[in-house]
């Protein structure tokens, strides 16, 4: 056990040094030569001070990310090795008689401990967002959001974990398949209710107050054959100075949402491009494709987790004081395995997401026929959010579900619209005749 702990701690420290060296020494972040002098060149739309701020802020956020992910694994590992999980299970049995209540008590202890241990990383992330004028929240406002996250996650996890361990007891060999079968409708249900139940707990949503702009957006939606009746805005300016818009929900709860910061800082043509981009996700069924892909990955994730856990318990169960998989004390092991599998799959899921985002950008350009507004919109998004224009390779692979901003801007600037294709066709014809 001492060797396990020593190797885990040493491995984390070495990983932290490697991440620091990569981000602060190796990763230059230079843009490709082909982007120089174009709209994608940060020198064209960011001052040297803004570029320095963006570089510093992005590097700090990336470093915190690469520290926090393996730290989560380390925490779950130490909770297992030191017998803390077993102690939580014993306390839950002493506190409650019924299985569901025992799960609730156990999960409260585990959630509280992991929340407190991860809190320094969460606070550092908030601190730097505040220091670089991205976050607009006071500490009490931010802390309120963290506590809401804790309780909402705790309630959802209690239901999921109680159901999962019930299935483990009933289907000892095929529990992972039964768990996945239950996970499918739960995921769909959560996606359906999120816009109307969960999201309003954090922010106030309303139909777009600017009715002239809403009419323009709805006209654009009609061109895209989207049966939209309203566009929603959300009061994110009380939290952040960054800009964003997104599509959420499924079925009749599907919504296109604009942050009020986006409404305040982009002009009408830029907003129409952003809306066309979000409409593309609806038209091309990206939400449903995303759910399907997520559930497919979850299928293999549950299967691999089951095999991996069975092997670990068979080999090290005595040292970990675990007799069988269905004991609540195995939960940190399950969370550890699932987190590692999720991280390992993130390059694939991020690459697929970037592909969909490029599709949405192309659709928006075709719909609006306004490349200038698209370029200026992305430039403002980069400036206001201190976005990394050209992230290091490993950061892009593991963190970016969108193409790098320089890539998006350059692709849009060089995108051939129909009118340009016709002009190029005329030039080619003239050349061939000559």
Known catalytic residues are 278, 361
Cα–Cα dist 8/424, whole Å: 60
Backbone φ/ψ region at 195: left (φ over 0), alpha (ψ -120 to 50), beta? alpha
124 Cβ contact partners less than 8 Å away, ≥ 6 residues apart: 64
Cα–Cα dist 58/51, whole Å: 10
Tell me: is residue 402 an annotated ligand-binding position: no
Q: Which of 360, 364, 377, 379 is nearest to 417 (CA)?
A: 364
Cα–Cα dist 388/87, whole Å: 45
Cα–Cα dist 12/71, whole Å: 7
Count of C-beta atoms within a 10 Å radius of residue 272:
23
Q: Which of 199, 218, 198 is nearest to 208 (CA)?
A: 218
Tell me: is residue 316 an annotated ligand-binding position: no
Tell me: is residue 281 an annotated ligand-binding position: yes
The DSSP secondary structure of 263-300, one letter per residue, reads: HHHS-HHHHHHHHHHHHHHHHTTHHHHHHHHHHHHHHH
Cα–Cα dist 160/183, whole Å: 9
For 91, phi then psi, to 5°, come to -65, -40
Numbered residues of the known binding site for Zn(2+)? 277, 281, 357
Numbered residues of the known binding site? 277, 281, 357
């Amino acid at each position: 056990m001492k060797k396990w702990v020593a190797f885990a701690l040493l491995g984390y420290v070495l990983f932290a040094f490697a991440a620091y060296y990569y981000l602060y020494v190796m990763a230059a972040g230079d843009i490709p030569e082909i982007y120089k002098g174009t709209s994608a060149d940060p020198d064209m739309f960011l001052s040297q001070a803004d570029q320095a701020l963006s570089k510093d802020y992005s590097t700090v956020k990336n470093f915190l990310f690469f520290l926090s992910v393996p730290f989560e694994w380390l925490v779950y590992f130490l909770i297992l090795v030191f017998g803390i999980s077993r102690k939580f299970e014993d306390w839950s049995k002493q506190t409650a008689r019924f299985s569901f209540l025992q799960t609730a008590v156990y999960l409260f202890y585990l959630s509280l401990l992991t929340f407190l241990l991860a809190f320094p990383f969460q606070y550092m992330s908030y601190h730097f967002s505040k220091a670089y004028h991205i976050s607009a929240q006071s500490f009490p406002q931010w802390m309120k959001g963290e506590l809401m996250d804790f309780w909402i996650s705790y309630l959802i996890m209690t239901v999921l974990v109680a159901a999962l361990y019930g299935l483990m007891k009933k289907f000892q060999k095929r529990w992972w398949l039964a768990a996945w079968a239950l996970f499918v409708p739960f995921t769909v249900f959560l996606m359906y209710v999120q816009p109307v139940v969960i999201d309003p707990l954090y922010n106030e949503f309303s139909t777009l107050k600017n009715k002239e702009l809403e009419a323009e957006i709805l006209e654009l939606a009609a061109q895209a054959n989207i049966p939209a009746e309203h566009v929603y805005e959300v009061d994110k300016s009380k939290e952040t100075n960054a800009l964003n818009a997104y599509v959420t929900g499924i079925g009749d709860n599907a919504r296109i949402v604009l942050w009020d910061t986006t409404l305040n800082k982009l002009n009408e043509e830029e907003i129409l491009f952003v809306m066309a981009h979000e409409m593309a996700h609806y038209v091309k069924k990206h939400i449903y494709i995303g759910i399907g892909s997520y559930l497919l990955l979850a299928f293999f994730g549950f299967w691999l987790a089951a095999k991996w856990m069975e092997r670990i318990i068979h080999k090290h169960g005595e040292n970990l004081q675990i007799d069988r998989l269905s004991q609540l004390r195995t939960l940190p092991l399950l969370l550890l395995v699932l987190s590692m599998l999720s991280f390992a799959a993130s390059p694939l899921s991020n690459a697929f997401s970037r592909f969909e985002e490029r599709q949405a950008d192309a659709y928006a350009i075709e719909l609006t026929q306004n490349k200038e507004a698209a370029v200026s919109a992305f430039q403002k998004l980069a400036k206001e959010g201190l976005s990394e224009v050209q992230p290091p390779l490993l950061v892009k692979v593991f963190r970016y579900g969108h193409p790098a901003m320089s890539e998006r801007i350059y692709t849009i600037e060089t995108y051939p619209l129909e009118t340009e294709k016709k002009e190029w066709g005329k030039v080619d014809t003239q050349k061939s005749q000559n």
